[in-house]
Structure 1
Amino acid sequence: MSAQSIIIDVVRSRFPFCIVWTPIPLLTWLFPFIGHMGIALSSGVIRDFAAPYYVSEDNMAFGKPTKYWQLQPSFANGGIEGWDSSIIEASEIYKTHVHNLFCDNCHSHVATALNFMQYGGSNSWNMVKLALLMAWHGKYVSFPAYVKTWFPFFAIVIIVVCILIFF
């Protein structure tokens, strides 16, 4: 694998070996750590569990990624081939699932892929662990992406504080 093949290309939305995240309108405005998650193949093409019985490819449900966390394919059982085949297998399974915001969602899809590849020697990946690790390790693709994530939350906080102070 060449160094060129693992380079992030934000303009084309190519994030090889990455978990990606984007805000969900209204929900992320109130809870900025909650958002929509997907996982990218070695080619950088993103797969995300977007709706009941539907895993999108190369078109995330809530827009282009604002954050990413690039992982090491060598930590996947089977390397690059194991990485890709695990994502494909998880995606095929999730095409048969009903989407549930609290129990079986986009984070669960990513966790299933990581469990299939036994990423980092672990098969205990879950949505809570992924949410925490994305919050810790995730990098914003740009400053405007950071603003897109946090501005609505801070605007709501400022409005609420003003209302409480002045009324």
Structure 2
Amino acid sequence: MYEQILQVAESFFMQQGYHGTSTRQIADALGIKQPNIYYHFKGKEAIYFEVMVTLSQEVSVNLWRIAEDPALTLAEKIYEMFAFLKRRHPVNFYMMMNDIQHSVSKDTSFKLYLLWKENYQKPIVTLFESSDTKIRGGVSAEFATSQLFILLAAHLDVNQQTHDQMAPAIDLFLHGLINETPEA
């Protein structure tokens, strides 16, 4: 029952966010009474945390797999990473970050932040640091990664049809807006 609760809860949390989801909804979807949920979890926050642990571990495995693929260029790796996130992570990233920052206890929020850094951010930071294509001086891999997530968060929203715009957005991010080559 533990795993079924997590699966159903993930679906609700990813579609409706933390505030929009109740343990009653989860119980009803499973055809069980609400107290059965509390046998496995202390409350909604504990369910949310476990959902995020499970999801972030899966995300980490896949981001590392893509980052370590020697057949892909830096741009292709970033594109594949975000294509994976769009397929597997059906949530508005802004809503998820808001939930993490404002809807759970400070202790849980901090633990979720550490999960984010380790499982979402670290594979991309390491990719930037280890790539043959170096980022320009004065820009840290951490800052570049955070800016990349900000840029691409809109493209990860499954409610928007922006998949075809991810590649140009990544190209613009990596190569900039200004054409330094003189026109002929």
> TM-score, normalised on structure 2?
0.27
Larger Rg: 2
- Name the structure with the higher helix share: 2
- Name the structure with the higher strand share: 1
